[in-house]
Amino acid sequence: MHATRTSSTEDVNPWQIAQEQLAQSAQRIGLSSAIHQKLAHPKRIITVSIPTQMDDGSWEVFTGYRVQHSLERGPCKGGIRYHPDVNLNEMKAMAMWMTWKSAVVNIPFGGGKGGVACDPERMSQRELERMTRRFTTELVDVIGPEKDIPAPDVYTDEQVMAWIVDTYSMNKGYMVPGVVTGKPLALGGSQGRRGATGRGCLCIIEEVLRVRNELREGLTMAVQGFGKVGSVVARLAAEKGFRVIAISDVRGAVFNAHGLDASDLLIYARENGSVAGYPEAESLPRDDLLLLECDILVPAALECAIHKGNAEQVSARIIAEVANGPTTPEAQTILEDKGIFMLPDILTNAGGVTVSYFEWVQSSQSYFWSEEEVNTNLHRIMLKAFHDVYNTAQRNSTSMRDAAMDLAVSRVAEAQRLRGIYP
């Protein structure tokens, strides 16, 4: 239930976008050339071949990546995704964005990202396990609790993290639960981790509405993407009194002006493989969801969903980016000119990395928190991050995206300045 890229976005280079964002922020905050150049390049790029035996006895060699952008403030943190379109430019961009995301919420991580170019929907569970274990073995010297901590992402889950924990631990000769986050509770996972990104997103949405004196029951919301994050946003929003009028996934979209029952729709989607055809709603062309008139639009699929080809038709009042990089720079300019208030991804979807931080802390201490403690601390950190960004935007008369970038880059740059560039 993850969205895929469309032909309208195939020419978009996420790494180029990430570089442009950094360059613009560097100019706004007067960043020194040396530190700018340092932050413009990932610290380490790993590309590996992953020979995997398939169930029919044949062998296939997949290509895997792990990019470590920055370790200035702590170990790298970032997901591992399995998707046919995984490529190095995407990995580099997302690793950089993870650096800024961690800095926005002021947790001691740098950014990393990894993935394997494969089609997990065409692979059996055993094939995925063999591929994951070989991929982990190739990375065993460059990941770990003090170096780089992977997590679930597109088409990866707790089971994949469990395979990584086991493979890494077997190579080390002892149990190392802190090598990943997003793992099962039985292996040292954290309460509240599964819904953390969606919960953090809704926290930001509610707070911006409160600050703008617009929070009221019945506000309309459209959610693009009904996977691990979008489904949580939709369900929690409905529970809080929002009217979720449209939801999409890779195979279609559904619309009900009176509001969708997100929990019932999730059951339907699990049983039928998609939200398409849900009997309590009208069918809608998948990409038309982005153009619906609504109070809040939540892009929760893959990057570059809103681009110069469709931005002019977007009719939401507020866009809360919970996917990574769902809006291109050209689209950003168009949306701001239309008066649409943007909540940037490096703030809005930082709930996941925040609770990953909690899990990492718990794993290292072997002392575990209740779900209430996790959610309370998540709420506290997300609110603090929102007001840090909002106040920066107000003080400097900039957009929320520029304010979030400037705040994040400043924090990483200060750590780099204090450490120096060795030798």
Residue 397 covered by a domain = no
CB within 8 Å of 182: residues ≥ 6 apart: 151, 152, 157, 158, 161, 189, 193, 356, 359
Q: Please measure the distance between the N-terminal and C-terminal CA atoms of the chain and give it in whole angstroms.
A: 47
Identify residue 243 by its one-letter amino acid code: R
Rounded to whole angstroms, how far apart are CA atoms 271 and 273? 6
Strands 296-299 and 220-224: parallel
CB within 8 Å of 300: residues ≥ 6 apart: 223, 224, 225, 226, 227, 229, 230, 233, 322, 323
Residue 12 covered by a domain = no
Q: Are residues 169 and 96 in the same domain?
A: yes
Q: Are residues 49 and 106 in the same domain?
A: yes
Q: What's the number of domains the chain is made of?
A: 2
Q: Are residues 312 and 269 in the same domain?
A: yes
> What number of H helices and E strands is found in the chain?
13, 12
| CATH code of the domain covering residue 259 | 3.40.50.720
Residue 77: active-site member = no
Edge-to-edge strands, sheet with 110-117? 44-53, 59-68, 110-117, 76-83, 148-152
Q: Which of 158, 187, 216 is the last residue of a domain?
A: 187
Q: Are residues 158 and 206 in the same domain?
A: no
| CATH code of the domain covering residue 111 | 3.40.50.10860
Residue 419 covered by a domain = no
Residue 312 covered by a domain = yes
Q: Are residues 207 and 335 in the same domain?
A: yes
Domain of residue 244 covers: 196-343
Measuring CA to CA, which residue among 248, 230, 229 is closest to residue 286? Answer: 248
Residue 288 covered by a domain = yes
Q: Would you state the pLDDT for residue 228? A: 86
**Cis before 423 (ω within 30):** yes
Q: Would you state the pLDDT for residue 90? A: 93
Residue 98 covered by a domain = yes
CB within 8 Å of 173: residues ≥ 6 apart: none
Residue 204 covered by a domain = yes
Rounded to whole angstroms, how far apart are CA atoms 244 and 106? 31
> Which residue carries 């939540």 as its tokens?
298
Q: Are residues 211 and 333 in the same domain?
A: yes
Each of the 423 residues of the chain gets a pLDDT tens digit; together they read 333 444 344 467 889 989 999 999 999 999 999 999 999 999 999 999 999 999 999 999 999 999 999 999 999 999 999 999 999 999 999 999 999 999 999 999 999 999 999 999 999 999 999 999 999 999 999 999 999 999 999 899 999 999 999 999 999 999 999 999 999 999 999 999 989 999 999 999 999 999 999 999 999 999 999 988 999 999 999 999 999 999 999 899 999 999 999 999 999 999 999 999 999 999 999 999 999 999 999 999 877 889 999 999 999 999 999 998 899 889 999 999 999 999 999 999 999 999 999 999 999 999 999 999 999 999 999 999 999 999 999 999 999 999 999 999 999 999 999 999 888
Q: Are residues 150 and 237 in the same domain?
A: no
Q: Which of 187, 215, 242 is the last residue of a domain?
A: 187
Residue 26 covered by a domain = no
Q: Are residues 57 and 134 in the same domain?
A: yes
Q: For CA atoms 334, 336, 340, 345, give the dihedral sign.
A: positive
Tokens in use for 410?
């400043």
Give the count of beta carbons closer than 10 Å to the beta carbon of residue 274: 19
Q: Are residues 312 and 278 in the same domain?
A: yes
Measuring CA to CA, which residue among 238, 251, 208 is closest to residue 347? Answer: 208
- What single DSSP character describes residue 147? T
Q: Which of 187, 213, 235 is the last residue of a domain?
A: 187
Q: Are residues 310 and 242 in the same domain?
A: yes
Tokens in use for 68?
């470590």
Q: Are residues 204 and 339 in the same domain?
A: yes
Q: Are residues 138 and 183 in the same domain?
A: yes
Among 113, 183, 228, 384, the one annotated catalytic = 113
